[in-house]
Structure 1
């Protein structure tokens, strides 16, 4: 299996990967590849050795023609009548998305959502590791958190030092909406360029900082629209 020359995104912005073997992906392609990766990860857990583009389409709600087009932009994958080798395709998509290494996360908020995130193994499956957890509630400081209780809740102080010492590249905000902008500003000031926002806040950040907001309300509205139409 060989990779072709990288291709530029079609539309909707682009995502720089910083890999000499890869150039840029459109945001749409990056989003779809992430969905393929999620399905492939589960398929491998189930012991699957191959998977067809039709199966990928069924799980990701992306049509099979689009899947083949996305993958063909990076090389020759799969065999007609057989499908894609799960392990091989996982390896290549991880390389394309740069998830083959480890990316450290600072998590803000040790409430129910924060604890669920810290204790989940989903992030680790894709190369992300929570290395620090912060909370403003004095009653939570020092409490063990994480799947093994290996981390302890920190106060909202020394953020820049922790970011530098732990090599934090992603900040996850599981805080109340009213607190999110201030936390985002502190993370940006500390040098973090990627923010994952679980609050409803409309974060204002300078150029060069990426924000992804995950809103259950918006997702439900999206699902409801397609159900009603």
Structure 2
């Protein structure tokens, strides 16, 4: 079994993956460590060190071949293949997430959307029909869902998380400000744009 990545390396590789994906969409075939550095604010020396730890991907003065480096990073991050996720919340944020092409570009499929509002159940967002949250324990195993994404009001986040956990989901991506109480074997990743903005402002203004 390959050695497990540290959190820092995994986070940086994920950022490189994002830049490479966008560069490919822009029609670029190659990219240098300096260009990646400009888009990620990660030192070019650190980028070369991260990538050289997994093999020889680039050539000095030539840069990295984007397709091959994309494939290698996806292999390292174990993101090859198709991964199904469940989205809880069919409001404006949920619609934006479900309609975004970004997930599909990385082999991620929104396989189910759930909501508690009967008026939203039965509608289609992002090509997926919204199901009642009451059906989560049946739908999650049926569709081989491994990750749940919360796009609900903070007041509804714990109930939504509880439903996902009861259905067998072990990874929850939390777009709310709520602090979730989950079993120790469930990973919770919280994304708060306001906090991330404050973090960026701190380093820019000090």
For the superposition of Structure 1 and Structure 2, which TM-score range results when normalised by the shorter chain? Answer: over 0.9
Matches within 5 A, 1:126-205: 126-146=106-126, 150-205=127-182
Find the partner of 2:38 among 52, 58, 64. 58
Q: Give the root-mean-square deviation of aligned CA atoms.
A: 1.0
Q: Which aligned runs of 4 or more in structure 1 are off by greater than 3 angstroms? A: none
State how many pairs are aligned.
Answer: 206
| Deviation of 1:158 (Å) | 2.1
Q: Which runs of 5+ in 1 are unaligned?
A: 1-19
Q: Distance in 2 between matches of 1:102 and 1:165?
A: 15
Deviation larger for 31-40 or 67-76: 67-76
1:118 aligns with 2:95: no
TM-score of the pair, normalised by structure 2: 0.97
| Deviation of 1:65 (Å) | 1.0
Q: Which runs of 5+ in 2 are unaligned?
A: none
Q: Distance in 2 between matches of 1:224 and 1:92?
A: 33
The aligned counterpart of 1:67 is 47
Deviation larger for 46-55 or 106-115: 46-55
Q: Distance in 1 between matches of 2:188 and 2:49?
A: 28
1:212 aligns with 2:194: no
Q: Distance in 1 between matches of 2:48 and 2:197?
A: 29
What SS class does the counterpart of residue 183 from structure 1 fall into?
A: helix
The aligned counterpart of 2:62 is 82
